[in-house]
Chain A
């Protein structure tokens, strides 16, 4: 990080985001770049870092989803301002396709990755949020693409990410995967079949330098996990509804907090179902424990008891234990004490 990224600049940018002042936020970013700040530093350490704080505020029930989205539109304007100052490479190192898998709606990281790649000398095409693997495959079949960069912020995106990796591998295009849902190491990316994992946009240059020209064959998924994943895909609404009902009953009359709004209960139940699928596809039980930690903060901030997250996972386990093969044991061993 350069010295240009001062605490004053962070405070000014944060304040601009807080009052939805797009012009002020863009002015802060332009000023930093004019003073010699590295564009990727500004994108990652200022824009994304601020957005993480906004997300944490929503998690702690300090701001609404709508306010978080409003902050995102300011961040998008800031990213666009940085991008406008990054020249198109005259002799690109290659052409990269940057996308989110289905169920991944955090488009901001994708735009940051795209600008970081351009800064590192790549020509970039951005497909944006929640891109179906079929659309991406059509793109790969009809155009020369040298790299797919995949951003996964939520666990729900990991099973669809596998389909994207399959499509890219079939087209012999290597995939670099990154994002919060892939955890803090390369394990999940490798399980999905990605050629490389990038810890952050800062790491992209080194990662790309070591990429193979064509990807290796994909790692297989064990038959029993495939069966569980298929059931989860086909029966997500059914499992989510049953989990929500069981959780509601388990919480009892005294355990209800502000999350009693029907859509929030449904949303959280669906979230744990998707997290279970993510743990299965990556064969990584820590997806479940991370999910529990995240839910605990979210639920206690909305008036639920500390054990509510564990109770939600237990409700999911009860729901699926007669239908799935591997998943119940995975939930049992991965969940943290309530």
Chain B
């Protein structure tokens, strides 16, 4: 790469190029690049990638370094000095890209490295004293390198060193360094864009709650497993109005459609249908028809298990629950008086067949009674010995029959996690626990 000189070039080689490995330049450069690469590995957040890039440069290659990366409204300029490794950041407007440009703006436009006087950074730093302080350290000039990814210059890396010259026509080390920083930052930018979308979807999958109703208590614990996020996943949605709640717990069967997307689709279908119909069996029927009709057999099948509840408050300490299931573990009723019963209700997975009919059962909860819902990650949890199972779950629920719903939810979450921890390294499915009840007497 040829350098464009902003100021009159000097004849000496840039000290950055000879900062290490003077006796064996090639070995020194290799060591520096290996160290920088190691520091850049694993940085997925832009802030982290910027921080890692700068600390890789200072003090190894320069006494001060700065990165310009594009933001939503301009550029984020982050610098690090030699004192304590702390970074300073300033936002600047996007500069013009035509006309007699200088310094950073010119590098951003041309994609060619430049050497500029140290005073030219005044516009790009948070503290106006920075150029003076750098000159006092003996750094008269700044080496500004383009950050190029996918063929487009998108930012700059600027390095200041107390050395004296900078005109080596083939600055292999620093240009290679800038190239690696550019790749790391570009990967972080791509990741950040995808993470924003994933976060938005994840926020939709988290439990929404209607306004709290005195007398109705709902406790939930959703623990993500160790399988890839797109392979499956539990979700929980709670909607409705005061005294009339709709609870929808589902688990996506791994398929070609990413689980987060399918779970959001399912929530939207059920929420939309619930504006006209609140019976759980009818809501599951609507979901089943939608999923089945969107599926293409053998290619794009969309299956999920679900349990859907309508919780009606009939008095200050009594609830009537209507519930239906679709291929989901059956709920348990935990009576404060001592009985733990499995609710006798059945139904096929949603998305399997348009002819599926869902049944509905009614459960009445008195003071202190609870309804325990779990995803299949609870009874199917693999530990030592064997599966966690419904019997173990029922015994645990019995022990907590007089405790508040949150305590039972915590106890199940703890028991399942400790059970699966006995098989370290084995993949673990998502597990969700939902407990609905009245206030204890």
One of B25-33, B44-52, B66-74, B374-382 at the interface: B44-52
**Contacting pair A70 B403 (CB below 8 A):** yes
Choose among A72, A103, A141, A143 the residue that contacts B407 (Cβ–Cβ < 8 A).
Answer: A72
- Segment 366-414 of B: residues with Cβ below 8 Å from A: 384, 399-400, 402-404, 406-407, 410-411, 413-414
Known: A105-B410, A234-B424. A66 touches B403 (CB 8 A): yes
Smallest beta-carbon distance B343→chain A, Å:
23
Report the bound CA distance from A82 to B44 in whole Å.
Answer: 35
Q: Count A interface residues, CB 8 Å.
A: 32
A286 CB to nearest chain B CB (Å): 25
- Does chain B have a CB within 8 A of A92? no
Q: Counting chain B CB atoms within 10 Å of each CB, which of A65, A69, A105, A144 scores highest?
A: A69
Given A66-B407, A70-B404, A234-B424, A142:B52 Cβ within 8 A: no
- A75 CB → nearest B CB, Å: 11
Q: Is the CB of B402 within 8 A of A141?
A: no
Which one, B44, B191, B400, B422, contacts A237 given CB within 8 A?
A: B422
B195 adjacent to chain A (CB < 8 Å)? yes
Q: How far is the CA of A132 from the CA of B406 in the complex (A)?
A: 21
The winner among A107, A142, A233, A237 for most chain B CB atoms within 10 A is A142
Q: Given the known A-B contacts A69-B411, A214-B55, are A237 and B406 also in contact in the complex, defined by CB atoms under 8 Å?
A: no
- Pick from A76, A102, A141, A170: contact of B421, CB below 8 A: A102
B51 is contacted by which of A72, A105, A172, A233 (Cβ under 8 Å)? A172
Contact of A144 among B42, B47, B411, B440 (CB under 8 A): B47
Kindly state whether residue B418 has any CB partner on chain A within 8 Å. Answer: yes
Chain B residues lying within 8 Å of A66, measured Cβ to Cβ, are 399-400, 402-403, 407, 411
Let me know if A73 is at the binding interface, CB within 8 A.
yes
**Shortest Cβ distance from B212 into chain A, in angstroms?**
12
Q: Tell me whether B84 is interfacial, beta carbon within 8 Å.
A: yes
Q: Contact between A142 and B226 (Cβ–Cβ < 8 Å)?
A: no
Interface residues of A in 165-220 (CB under 8 A from B): 170-172, 213-214
**A31 contacts B by Cβ under 8 Å:** no
Contacts of A134 in B (CB 8 A): 226
The complex places the Cα of A236 from the Cα of B25 at a distance, in Å, of 52
Contacts A135-B224, A143-B45, A144-B47 given; does A237 touch B384 at CB 8 Å: yes
A-B contact pairs, 25 of them (CB 8 A): A20-B404, A66-B399, A66-B402, A66-B407, A69-B404, A69-B406, A69-B410, A70-B403, A72-B410, A73-B406, A76-B406, A102-B417, A105-B410, A129-B413, A130-B414, A130-B417, A134-B226, A140-B48, A141-B42, A141-B48, A170-B42, A171-B48, A172-B48, A213-B85, A234-B424
Chain A to chain B: the 5 pairs with minimum beta-carbon distance, closest first:
A69-B407, A144-B47, A141-B44, A66-B403, A73-B406
Chain B residues in contact with chain A, CB under 8 A? 42-45, 47-48, 51-52, 55, 84-86, 191-192, 195, 224, 226, 384, 399-400, 402-404, 406-407, 410-411, 413-414, 417-418, 421-422, 424, 440
